Structures are given as structure tokens and as C-alpha cells.
Amino acid sequence: MSDKTVEALGMLSKALETTERARGALYEFHQLTGTADFQVGDAVRLLREAGHGTEADLLEREVLGRNVIPGHWTFQIIEAYNRTYYHRFAGLEHRLLHDLAQGRDHIHEAELKHRRHRPTDGTPDT
């Protein structure tokens, strides 16, 4: 396999790793927003218990269970991201590794290890 192919596949894998991080940030956004919504629900309940029904009604009407963007809760954003971008990207990365590198992953990193690794613990270099 040519050095350029190894470099290209390494860059593609790096891009997918970055996408994995972005996807994780979406899940974090989803979980934090959901947690905040349940906390708003607790605040609504506590306001009612404290005799502030008008304020509780306002908070419940304006914030509790609200779409984060028009027509969507956070899980729907993740579903759309996965469906329209992530799964397609991950599938193509897998296909190109299969077609160009016989399915071997992290070829670029393996070459770096071979060139740079200095075993110090007595274990074989694999």
C-alpha cells in the first residue's frame, strides 16, 4: 500500500474519531438538557407547594418539556445526526478500510509505532 494511501486512510480515521467526539457532545447535550428539564419540573412543583401557582404555571408553560429547536427534542437531533451523517460516514470509513487496507484499522498509527516505539518494559513490540 502506498504511503499516500496510508496517509489518506489515517486522515479519514482521524476525521471519524473527531466525529465520534462530536457525537458524544450531542449525547452530553441530550442528557444535560433532559436533566435540566426534570429539574425545572421539580422547581415547578416546589413553586406550587410554596404557594406560587402563577409563577409555576408560567414556568411550566414556557419551559417544561419544550422543544429545543422547532419541532424537536434533543433525542430527535441525535437521531437525525446519526441517520443523515454519522452512520453514512462510519460505513464509508469501514468500506474504504476493507477495500484499501484489507480491513486493517489504524495503519498510519501502526507505522508510527513501528518507526518511533522504543520498548522499555521487555514486552515484544507488536
pLDDT tens for each residue of 72-125: 999 999 999 999 999 999 999 999 999 998 777 767 676 777 777 777 766 666
Q: Residue 16 in contact with residue 89, Cβ under 8 Å? A: yes
What's the whole-number mean pLDDT along residues 9-22? 95
The per-residue pLDDT for 113 is 74
Grid coordinates belonging to 12: 479519514
Query: Nearest-5° angle of CA 101, CA 18, CA 106?
Result: 25
Q: How far apart are CA 101 and CA 109, in angstroms?
A: 13
Judged by phi (left if over 0) then psi (alpha if -120 to 50, else beta), residue 72 lies in: beta
Does the model's pTM come out above 0.85?
no
What is the pLDDT at residue 126? 61
In this predicted structure, what is the pLDDT of residue 2? 87
pLDDT of residue 125: 60
C-alpha to C-alpha distance for 13 and 72, rounded to whole angstroms: 31
